[in-house]
């Protein structure tokens, strides 16, 4: 079967990872790129040998010649670009955060549904090797029914040098990073009925919150905590590891710093190294994220070919995005938020 031909919009900081990963994905290739910044367009076009280059996405869609589009721009342009893809009946991947508001996100899902085209959100953290290892242990029944969890990302890493826009928005850690952690919580413990959140800003040089603590009630009766911070200075910097604690009816799982997975149950305690692979183009400490970029893009290519639903489809991601909106609402009001009422 012929390789899927993709077009990528947004040749910025993170798109370079996506371009490397596309080069590794079986049966897919990027044939056109677009960026309104000529410098980024040239840099990425030259690095990856892409001849078809556009400064205007509408022109690229009008010319066509590709089977899917990978939208790697920042959130402001996501709705317009996804709707453009739907209008041209082109399957689309859209980076997180999916949209500026839940109403926009719902409209984007509806547009792709009406056009009959698949839509996947590039929500890659659930594809990280250590998170997949936790999911596998749960599926194997290693700890029985989980009744409590903690999903924790606490770091002092300077994310602002690579992504300066993160310092400028009214919203920061929940929208940019907590969105991944909330998605992992859903992936591991299932959908959420109610959420309570507290936030604060510690770093005086940024506009948004850099610490958040969120309490989740899951459909299955489990309770979990999602806690995220970019104001946490530790002896050994854990960026970008998500640490997981799960208590179940028959045992416990602990995913701790250094990609160490410990499972305790009636059979005793086992410890495994669940480190991500260092792909040829990857660099520490980003390699955990970089490997998950390859994994989600390979998944997209496979589902596009077999017609199956992706793990982080637009419809699925509405349930993660609602948690982001609810966290800001709860932090502002001090009250719990009913998630089902938002969907
Ligand atoms: P960036 O600002 O470095 O790059 C965005 C690029 O898109 C820029 O080059 C800009 O010129 C271009 N662009 C914006 N609007 C455009 C439009 N309408 N048409 C053509 N080009 C346009 O941003 P980034 O750090 O690469 O982040 C991009 C997205 O990736 C963000 O949504 C961010 O949250 C996400 N991200 C995801 C991960 C992850 O692990 N999933 C990690 C980092 C960033
Ligand atoms: O994954 C992300 O969205 C990145 C980072 C890990 C730096 O928060 O922005």
Sorted by where each starts, the structural domains of the chain and their CATH numbers stand as 4-117 (3.40.50.720), 126-286+320-342 (3.30.360.10)
Ligand 2 neighbour 240 (Cβ under 6 A)? yes
Stretch 67-83: mean pLDDT, rounded? 99
Distance (Å) from CA 245 to ligand 2 centroid = 22
Ligand 1 neighbour 77 (Cβ under 6 A)? yes
d(CA 149, CA 6): 38
Contact (CB, 8 A) for 225 and 215: yes
- Give the burial class of 100: count Cβ atoms within 10 A of its Cβ; 0-12 exposed, 13-18 middle, 19 or more buried: middle
Closest CA relative to residue 10, chosen from 82, 67, 64: 82
Q: For residue 69, what pLDDT is reported?
A: 99
What are 42's two structure tokens? 């040239």
Q: For residue 280, what pLDDT is reported?
A: 98
Nearest CA to ligand 2 atom 1: 177
Distance (Å) from CA 95 to ligand 1 centroid = 8
Q: Express each pLDDT in 283-319 by its tens digit.
A: 999 999 999 999 999 999 999 999 999 999 999 999 9
Q: Express each pLDDT in 193-222 by its tens digit.
A: 999 999 999 999 999 999 999 999 999 999
Q: How far is CA 338 from the centre of its chain?
A: 23
What are 332's two structure tokens? 């502002």
Q: Express each pLDDT in 142-179 by its tens digit.
A: 999 999 999 999 999 999 999 999 999 999 999 999 99
pLDDT confidence of 2, banded at 50, 70, 90?
confident
Ligand 2 neighbour 4 (Cβ under 6 A)? no
Distance (Å) from CA 10 to ligand 1 centroid = 6
Q: Walk across the sheet containing 260-265 and list its strands.
A: 268-273, 260-265, 251-256, 243-248, 146-154, 223-229, 211-218, 192-200, 337-338
| 41 Rama class: left (phi>0) / alpha (psi -120 to 50) / beta | alpha
Q: Express each pLDDT in 238-257 by its tens digit.
A: 999 999 999 999 999 999 99
Total count of residues recorded for the chain: 343
Closest CA relative to residue 85, chosen from 106, 54, 64: 64
Q: For residue 1, what pLDDT is reported?
A: 62
d(CA 54, CA 66): 14
d(CA 54, CA 33): 6
Ligand 1 neighbour 75 (Cβ under 6 A)? yes
Percent of all residues in the chain with a pLDDT value above 90, rounded to a whole number: 99
d(CA 102, CA 179): 13
ipTM for the assembly: 0.99
Distance (Å) from CA 209 to ligand 2 centroid = 15
């Amino acid at each position: 079967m012929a390789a899927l031909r993709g077009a990528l919009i947004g040749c910025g900081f993170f798109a370079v990872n996506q371009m490397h990963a596309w080069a590794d994905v079986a049966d897919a290739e990027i044939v056109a790129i677009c960026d309104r910044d000529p410098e980024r367009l040239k840099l990425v076009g030259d690095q990856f040998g892409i001849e078809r280059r556009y400064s205007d996405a509408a022109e690229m869609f009008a010319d066509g010649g590709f089977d899917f589009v990978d939208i790697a721009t920042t959130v402001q342009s996501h709705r317009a670009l996804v709707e453009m893809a739907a209008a041209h009946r082109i399957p689309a991947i859209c980076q997180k955060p999916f949209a500026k508001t839940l109403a926009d996100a719902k409209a984007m899902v509806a547009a792709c549904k009406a056009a009959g085209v698949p839509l996947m959100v590039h929500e890659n953290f659930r594809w990280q090797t250590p998170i997949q290892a936790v999911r596998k242990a749960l599926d194997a029944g290693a700890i029985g029914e989980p009744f409590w969890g903690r999903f924790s990302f606490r770091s002092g890493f300077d994310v602002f040098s690579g992504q300066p826009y993160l310092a400028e928005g009214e919203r920061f850690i929940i929208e940019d990073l907590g969105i991944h952690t909330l998605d992992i919580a859903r992936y591991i413990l299932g959908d959420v009925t109610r959420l309570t959140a507290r936030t604060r800003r510690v770093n005086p040089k940024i506009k948004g919150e850099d610490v958040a603590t969120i309490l989740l009630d899951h459909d299955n009766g489990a309770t979990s905590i999602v806690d995220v911070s970019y104001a946490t200075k530790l002896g050994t910097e854990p960026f970008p590891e998500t640490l997981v604690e799960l208590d179940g009816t028959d045992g416990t799982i602990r995913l701790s710093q250094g990609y160490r997975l410990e499972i305790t149950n009636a059979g005793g305690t086992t410890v495994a190294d669940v480190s991500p692979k260092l792909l040829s183009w990857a660099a520490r400490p980003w390699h955990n994220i970089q490997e998950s970029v390859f994994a989600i893009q390979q998944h997209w290519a496979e589902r596009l070919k077999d017609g199956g639903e992706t793990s982080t489809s637009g419809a699925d991601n509405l349930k993660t995005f609602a948690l982001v909106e609810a966290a800001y609402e709860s932090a502002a009001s001090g009250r719990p938020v009913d998630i089902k009422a938002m969907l």
